[in-house]
């Protein structure tokens, strides 16, 4: 169901990762500081019955603008996307919806797509919008570490049970994103968040540096679900200090 294809999308890892998280309820915000295409988000929210707060963030501001357009303005977004594909490819953007359309078209290189693909995409956007309208969504584009530090507002007390914070940063020692993160600083911020009572999960590639950064945390290997075009890593790891895992 993901709205856009993307480098590093969790795709065939998502179902197994989502199963690790505690059940969300109205006192448990769900926070993804590196949301990308939201493969894990959409999997988690499809399994969630209660209306909870969902905070999605990515340093890529145009990507977050696309999330906003799809979720809150999906009819306008879809009709302008269809118009752009039908003949006015890359119109001069006049507002954030045009920007979202252009970002989407540039990203997916859709000018060559046939009508059947467009209706498939439109159905996908509708599904995403219908799912997300059941939650209180907040979209931001800020540095992930700053967001993790700001999660203190949800720490367990009367109103909140602590948040589920799922981080899927760029792999350690790999390239390919316009934005990157200081993995040492991220690990420190996540340890502080866990100490406040949040449920913290972080996906990483299998490597010694990740083991060092998250030493003392549980390490859960996640095997990619098999698919026809199997490329890239077959295993990832999720680190978590949570003792309540049911894998």
Ligand X SMILES: C[S@@+](CC[C@H](N)C(=O)[O-])C[C@H]1O[C@@H](n2cnc3c(N)ncnc32)[C@H](O)[C@@H]1O
Binding of ligand X by 170 (CB under 6 A):
yes
The pair of structure tokens assigned to 138 is 């907040």
Q: Measured from the CB atom, is 48 or 60 closer to ligand X? A: 60
Position of tokens 């929210």? Answer: 45
Binding of ligand X by 179 (CB under 6 A):
yes
Binding of ligand X by 3 (CB under 6 A):
no
Which of 43, 98, 168, 236: binder of ligand X (CB under 6 A)?
A: 168
Binding of ligand X by 173 (CB under 6 A):
no
Q: Please choose, out of 47-55, 67-75, 124-132, 177-185, the segment that lies near ligand X by the rule CB under 6 A.
A: 177-185
CA distance 221 to 205: 10
Binding of ligand X by 74 (CB under 6 A):
no
The pair of structure tokens assigned to 203 is 């996906």
Binding of ligand X by 8 (CB under 6 A):
yes
Are 146 and 59 in contact by the 8 Å Cβ rule? The answer is no
Are 243 and 214 in contact by the 8 Å Cβ rule? The answer is no
The minimum distance between CB 169 and ligand X, in angstroms, equals 6
Binding of ligand X by 85 (CB under 6 A):
no
Q: Measured from the CB atom, is 164 or 181 closer to ligand X? A: 181
Q: Measured from the CB atom, is 85 or 167 closer to ligand X? A: 167
CA distance 20 to 164: 11
Which of 181, 204, 210, 238: binder of ligand X (CB under 6 A)?
A: 181
Q: Measured from the CB atom, is 105 or 202 closer to ligand X? A: 202
Binding of ligand X by 236 (CB under 6 A):
no
Binding of ligand X by 58 (CB under 6 A):
yes
Which of 143, 149, 191, 224: binder of ligand X (CB under 6 A)?
A: 143
Residue 166 sits at φ, ψ, to 5 deg, of -110, 120
Give the dihedral of Cα atoms 196, 199, 202, 207; nearest 10 deg. 80
Q: Please choose, out of 92-100, 167-175, 191-199, 222-230, the segment that lies near ligand X by the rule CB under 6 A.
A: 167-175
Burial class (CB in 10 A: 0-12, 13-18, 19+), 227: exposed
The pair of structure tokens assigned to 125 is 């956007």
Q: What is the DSSP string of 56-112?
A: EE-S-HHHHHHHHHHHHSHHHHHHHHHHHHHT--SPPP-SHHHHHHHHHHHHHTGGG
Position of tokens 């990619």? Answer: 224
Q: Please choose, out of 56-64, 76-84, 112-120, 192-200, the segment that lies near ligand X by the rule CB under 6 A.
A: 56-64
Q: What are the residues binding ligand X (CB under 6 A)?
A: 6, 8-10, 33-34, 36-37, 39-40, 58-60, 143-144, 168-170, 177, 179-181
């Amino acid at each position: 169901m993901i709205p856009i294809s993307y480098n590093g999308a969790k795709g065939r890892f998502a179902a197994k990762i989502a199963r690790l998280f505690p059940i969300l309820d109205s006192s448990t915000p769900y926070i993804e500081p590196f949301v990308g295409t939201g493969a894990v988000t959409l999997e988690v929210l499809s399994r969630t019955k209660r209306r909870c707060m969902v905070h999605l963030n990515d340093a890529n501001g145009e990507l977050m603008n696309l999330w906003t357009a799809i979720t809150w303005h999906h009819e306008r977004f879809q009709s302008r996307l269809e118009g752009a594909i039908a003949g006015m490819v890359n119109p001069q953007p006049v507002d954030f919806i045009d920007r979202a359309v252009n970002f989407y078209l540039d990203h997916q290189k859709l000018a060559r797509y046939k009508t059947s693909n467009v209706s498939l995409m439109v159905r996908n956007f509708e599904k995403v919008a219908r799912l997300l309208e059941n939650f209180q969504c907040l979209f931001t584009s800020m540095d992930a570490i700053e967001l993790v530090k700001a999660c203190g507002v949800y720490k367990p007390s009367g109103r909140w049970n602590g948040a589920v914070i799922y981080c899927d940063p760029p792999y350690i020692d790999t390239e390919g994103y316009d934005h990157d993160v200081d993995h040492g600083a991220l690990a420190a911020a996540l340890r502080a968040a866990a100490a406040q009572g949040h449920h913290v999960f972080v996906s990483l590639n299998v490597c010694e540096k990740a083991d060092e950064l998250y030493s003392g945390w549980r390490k859960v290997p996640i095997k990619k679900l098999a698919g026809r075009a199997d490329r890239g890593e077959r295993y990832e790891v999720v680190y978590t200090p949570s003792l309540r895992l049911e894998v």
